[in-house]
Amino acid sequence: MLGALRFIGYKFQAQYKGINMKKNAVILLSGGLDSTTILAIAKDAGYDPYVLSFSYGQRHDIELEKAKEIAKDSGAKEHKIANIDLRLFGGSALTDKIDVPKHNNVDEIDSEIPITYVPARNTIFLSFALAYAETIEAFDIFIGVNALDYSGYPDCREEYIKSFEDMSNLALAACVDANINNRKKMHIHTPLIDMTKAEIIKKGLELGVDYSKTLSCYDPDTNGNPCKKCDSCLLRQKGFNENGMVDPCF
Amino acid sequence: MLGALRFIGYKFQAQYKGINMKKNAVILLSGGLDSTTILAIAKDAGYDPYVLSFSYGQRHDIELEKAKEIAKDSGAKEHKIANIDLRLFGGSALTDKIDVPKHNNVDEIDSEIPITYVPARNTIFLSFALAYAETIEAFDIFIGVNALDYSGYPDCREEYIKSFEDMSNLALAACVDANINNRKKMHIHTPLIDMTKAEIIKKGLELGVDYSKTLSCYDPDTNGNPCKKCDSCLLRQKGFNENGMVDPCF
């Protein structure tokens, strides 16, 4: 119910904006299942998508090729890829030569902060999204964070996103007027934040997302085939199973 | 008086930390007058400086050469240069082919947000500083923002910095425990925020800063000589004059 109200909210907001102002939105797209779903949600809500991806020294650069194809297929207004080498700092299995943990099923996944955590990654990604948003006069940013499946990542929680949104309204020249009037202008949309993986997939399928084109695996082979054993593969597989399906990438 | 208390505060904090925990700090260094001064302040307060600079497509890349020399001379533990191409988005005279405004004296400087504003620049810089801090177990970041001389930049204001600090304490794995106890762990230090340029220079000279090695100009020639007409040059020159000196770079 809450989810349904949220989606109606996005639609209303975008349609309202259609009358009075631009409705450009920045969509953070990794090429994975979650971000591909938010791209579809933003489009369905009437926003013009300006897609932003990152080449950040991730081990699975093939993700970016998927992102390019997905952005193109979605009819995005623009797709920018920012090069930011997070290997400069290290500290994560996603960017360093640390083994990605593998499991046989979802019950084996730790509830601690995983080694795949990249320090300040979402903060850096959202900061670039702010710069992009300001230059295209957008006040809406969509990010596919999810607090349920990845409760271990501090920067996927609602309180973090809310705090980032507060900060962004103080950071930008485009928002200075808004703050004088004590209104928020910049909005960080997180349609998936309290959804299960199964609910996300269900929503995406309703919107016509072709999940065979996505790649969520932390450790794919060079052809982009998923390892089927990392946390991301297992959670995704479970989500498809709960929808009575097999993951189309498996 | 407030300034003096602030400095005593930094010293106390660092010395206290010296007993109980690491006292690494990330220092954002552009190679300009302000950031070179905060590097000296952080060192004087007893922090071990881990210096971070950015190659962000600025027109004046020679600044980075200055930063390297300054970091080396300061005995920094480490100096990292992050490559982030903000030209990807555009929208500023510092990164685009837009003329940097020139004036004959400081009174001609506009009070509006200047064209040298780079969208979300400090947010991006501080986000990288967070990633760096987390990997070296630092909870202190120094940034040379100043609200007086550059009141036009929204991301140089105290309320913005405070908000970024709040957000960073929710963003990082290293701070999650702190938030459970409702304490802040990560601190963004802005020693210069309410100082005039003359006061900053006075403080730096007391700490032995060699300002002849710094470069603040928005539009230097290829040899690193300042234009003497941009806002940054004029404000700096005024600061030296108020200390009864000539800018050693002029």
- CB contact (8 A) between residue A84 and residue B84: yes
Contact B124 A127 (CB under 8 A): yes
Give the tens place of pLDDT for each residue, B11-67: 555 554 444 444 999 999 999 999 999 999 999 999 999 999 999 877 667 889 999
Average pLDDT of the residues in B123-133: 96
CB B240: neighbour CB atoms within 10 A?
20
What pLDDT, on a 0 to 100 scale, did the predictor assign at position B97? 66
A127 to B120: CB separation less than 8 angstroms, yes or no:
yes
Q: How far apart are CA B110 and CA A4, in angstroms?
A: 48
Distance of residue B124 Cα from the nearest chain A Cα, in angstroms? 5
B79 vs A contacts (CB less than 8 Å): none
Give the pTM: 0.87
**Could you tell me if residue A161 is inside a domain?**
yes
Q: What does the alpha-carbon distance between residue A16 and residue A10 come to, in Å, rounded to a whole number?
A: 10
- Do B160 and A168 lie within an 8 Å CB cutoff? no
Q: Which of residues 118-147 of A touch B (CB under 8 A)?
A: 118-124, 126-128, 130-132, 134-135
Confidence (pLDDT) at B20? 43
- The stretch B192-211 carries a mean pLDDT of 96
- Asked whether residue B116 carries a pLDDT value surpassing 90, the answer given is no
Probe site for chain A from B116, B163, B179, B188 (most A CB atoms < 10 A) = B163
pLDDT given for residue A147 in this prediction: 82
Closest A-chain CA to B79 = A88
Residue B173 CA to residue B178 CA, distance in Å, equals: 10
CA-nearest residue to B171 within chain A is A155
Render the burial of A123-138: b for 16+ CB within 10 Å, e for the rest: bbbbbbbbbbbbbbeb
Q: What is the pLDDT of residue A6?
A: 64
In chain B, positions 67-96, which contact chain A (CB-CB < 8 Å)?
A: 80, 82-86, 88-91
Query: Is residue A9 included in any domain, yes or no?
Result: yes
Measured in angstroms, the CA of B14 and the nearest CA of chain A are apart by 24
CB contact under 8 A, A167 and B171: no
Assigned domain for B173 exists: yes
Distances (CA, A) of B169 to A21, A79, A168, B190: 34, 31, 15, 17
For residue B83, list chain A residues with Cβ-Cβ distance below 8 A.
Answer: 83-85
Cβ neighbourhood burial of B224 (10 Å; 0-12, 13-18, 19+): middle
User: How much is the pLDDT for B101?
Assistant: 73
Q: Which parts of chain A sit beneath pLDDT 50? A: 1, 16-22
pLDDT digits (tens, 9 = 90+) for B152-180: 788 999 999 999 999 999 999 888 776 65
CA B244, B246, B250 angle in degrees (round to 5)?
165
The answer as to whether A177 is a domain residue is yes
Is B146 a domain residue?
A: yes
Among A51, A54, A56, A88, most B C-beta atoms within 10 A, so best to mutate, is A88
Q: Which of A120, A164, A175 sits opposite B131 (nearest CB)?
A: A120
The pLDDT value recorded for residue B95 is 67
Who among B80, B89, B176 is closest to A131 (CB)? B89
Which of A122, A128, A167 faces B124 most closely, judged by CB atoms? Answer: A128
Strands (E), chain A: 24-28, 48-55, 78-83, 140-142, 187-189
Which of B113, B135, B173 lies nearest to residue A90, judging by beta carbons? B135
Chain center to CA of A199? 15
B98 touches chain A (CB under 8 A): no
Q: Where residue B93 sits, what CATH number does that domain have?
A: 3.40.50.620
pLDDT above 90 for B190: yes
**B248 part of a folded domain:** no
Print the domain residue range for A143.
Answer: 2-99+115-210
Report CB contact under 8 Å: B167, A166. yes
- A-chain CB neighbours of B126 within 8 Å are 127
- In this predicted model, what pLDDT tens digit does every residue of B91-115 receive, in sequence order? 666 666 667 777 777 777 666 666 6
Residue B247 lies in a domain: no
Structure tokens at B231: 């806002």
Q: In this predicted structure, what is the pLDDT of residue A85?
A: 79
Q: Select the residue of B113, B130, B135 nearest A123 (Cβ to Cβ).
A: B130
Position B230 scores a pLDDT of 87
Report yes or no on A54 lying in a domain: yes
- Does residue A163 sit at the B interface (CB-CB below 8 Å)? yes
Who among B121, B154, B172 is closest to A170 (CB)? B154
Instruction: Tell me whether strands A187-189 and A140-142 are parallel, antiparallel or unpaired.
Output: parallel
Closest chain A residue to the Cα of B120, Cα to Cα: A131
Count of structural domains, chain B: 1
Percentage of chain B beyond pLDDT 90 is: 54
Mean pLDDT computed over every residue of chain B: 85
Q: What is the rounded CA–CA span in Å between residue B120 and residue A171?
A: 6
User: Does the beta-carbon distance from A119 to B134 stay under 8 Å?
Assistant: yes
Chain-chain contact of A164 with B171 (C-beta, under 8 angstroms): yes
**Residue B19: what pLDDT?**
47
